[in-house]
Structure 1
């Protein structure tokens, strides 16, 4: 998601697809071998639930190892600390290459793929636009910038100026990179890999609202997640679906926005115009085997909107649920791939 609040400034209510996860996954009998841990991550929280297996570490040991992974990721990728690898890259002017850790290189590779596939709708260099409009850093005041100020900031935006050479990240202009649009999903995938290294195959992993689940709970029941209705303040489940081997990400404009002269300005930006998207697509949920891909694709579809986003999803076989504003309410539209997964089919 291209979100102003995601990388990683503060605890916030993310736009998520797990509004009722605790209620749906926490009702086990006392003898059921299900473990769970919770912690802080990326300015928000994480949770991991898994079916215990012989030889796996206990909850305390596993949490320690997960916290270490998340801490290392923060030191490499966070743009909210001046000493992270990515922050040091951003502090340099254009025309440089810097050696980067694997996490940054993998995220940049995915970001470049999404940028090309989306025709530029996905862009990890829009951070200065978020700041200009008051969504990210600055004095916190959300404003409508002048066309002159917008043009000046847009001149420093453009993912096409970012490239990878071996183990180095390079930029041809003075751009700033923020990979928060895929970072949480990426860490979900990494934590899933970490669980797999201990033989754990039945789990639900959630980081700041992005999640993935696989396997079965005791009693051969599937993990289920609730996708919330896009309301500004209340958290209400719109539908509940089983999840097995898929990551899920929801992007929406209904939690982080401001209104001016009757218009809603959200924190999701069109990289081409430099302005918040203004269409009627309130939220979109994507299911994908890779949580990182789901994270990025939900952003792309939200940027493209209800018409172009739908066509992009259909052309690329994306399992997606669109929630569109209509009059005083919402209408939903699901791609065939999403409908099949909603019914628990392959």
Structure 2
């Protein structure tokens, strides 16, 4: 159960948007493993002895790297890159984990009516947010229409028994909005399999947590302020079991002629999102779903996001841009979690 939600007037003990809490974080029982993979940093905090943490270090890195090697669009021999290069109607053998993630991605795509679409790769590349080197400039309408013709999750087919994928029309996968969440779950599953019940796993801002810190203190995590000029804390949550992912339009973008263009693209229009929702945080059981739905909600906008959250019984926290200030909206499920903590 999640519990405890506090609004901070100032930000304290901030490391990126992950807060451990000032008291007790330096205690020897909380061991930290950190590194770089999947194009971002990761931190694993686990209640363990130093020797246990050292033994875990290699396994944690391997678990994350295996996901990266399978699903990166930057590696030419990854499962995703091979699928993208494959001809239409040709089956491609992939790892079981890639087949699982694609299956989950298509599940979210269907539930969100395409707001989340794992075949958005051509648009991501066109707008300069993918692995292909481009200049920061707005594509022409014809270029966007051409890229849109290659987007559509319904054209991807999976054989889960044989772990194979194929495309019925020209398609390119981009799993960047779900793979980090899956990697977080892989690490969490590894820790639990090794008998560790108290941990916090974070990869590029996607998190999963379990148990408490020594002294029965909850883990403290932060929702970042949607301010592109500086990093600060907007909200702090004290949590024990579950996952959290946040998607926003305030970090990865470019500007042209005074207009800002976000990396969050609408798979239906081909353009970056243009509404007042600037941050969507999802709390759930599995990071893979929190990660994907956070992106879907950002694409959909606040009203549609709250509607889908209610339909899926999901706890979400939305921040919208108003006139000179931000406003926040919490789903009924999020409020219920907060009420249970008081």
Q: CA offsets, 1:243-302, max 9 Å, x none? A: 122110000000111233443211111111111110110111000110110001101110
- Residue 157 of structure 1 is matched in structure 2 by 151
- Superposed CA offset, 1:225-246 (max 9, x none): 1111100031111111111221
8 A contact 1:210–1:248 mirrored in 2: yes
Equivalent-residue separation in structure 2 for 1:198 and 1:156 (angstroms)? 43
1:181 equivalent to 2:177? Answer yes
Q: 2:72 aligns with which of 75, 78, 99?
A: 78
Partner of residue 88 from structure 1, selected from 71, 82, 85? 82
Question: 2:72 and 2:297 mapped to 1: Cα distance?
Answer: 25
State the match for 1:5 in structure 2. Answer: none
TM-score, length-normalised on structure 2? 0.90
Gaps of 5+ in 1: 1-16
| 3-state DSSP of counterpart to 1:269 | coil
Question: For residue 135 of structure 1, what is the aligned residue in structure 2?
Answer: 129
Q: CA deviation at 1:139?
A: 3.3
Is 1:107 aligned to residue 82 of structure 2?
no
DSSP-derived class of the 1:181 partner: coil
Tell me whether 1:233 sits opposite 2:244 in the alignment. Answer: no
Displacement of 1:200 in angstroms is 0.4
- The equivalent residue for 1:222 is 218
1:24 aligns with 2:21: yes
Q: Aligned residue for 1:97?
A: 91
Instruction: Give, in whole Å, the separation in 1 of the partners of 2:52 and 2:109.
Output: 41
Task: Structure 2: give runs of 5+ residues left out of the alignment.
Answer: 1-13
- 2:33 aligns to what? 37
Whole-Å separation in 1 of the counterparts to 2:18 and 2:255: 31
SS at the partner of 2:221?
A: strand
Cα distance in 2 between the residues matched to 1:234 and 1:339: 28
Give the whole-Å Cα distance in 1 for the aligned partners of 2:99 and 2:15: 29
Q: 1:124 to 1:18 in 2, by over 3 A?
A: farther
Aligned to 1:172: 168
Q: Report the TM-score when normalising by structure 1.
A: 0.89
* Cα distance in 1, alignment partners of residues 328 and 63 from structure 2: 37
Separation in structure 2 between the aligned mates of residue 272 and residue 193 of structure 1, nearest angstrom: 35
Render the CA deviation track for 1:38-63: whole Å, top value 9, x for unaligned.
1111111111111127xx96222211
Residue 254 of structure 2 aligns to a residue whose secondary structure is strand
Whether 2:280 is the aligned partner of 1:284: answer yes
Measured in 1, the distance between the counterparts of 2:108 and 2:81 equals 22
Cα distance, 1:343 vs structure 2:
5.1
CA distance in 2, matches of 1:259, 1:20: 25
Report the counterpart of residue 46 of structure 1 in structure 2: 42
SS at match of 2:122: helix
Is it true that 1:192 corresponds to 2:205 in the alignment?
no
State whether residues 242 and 341 of structure 1, in contact with CA within 8 Å, keep that contact through their aligned partners in structure 2. Answer: no
Measured at CA, do residues 27 and 235 of structure 1 come closer, stay the same or move farther in structure 2, by a change above 3 Å? farther
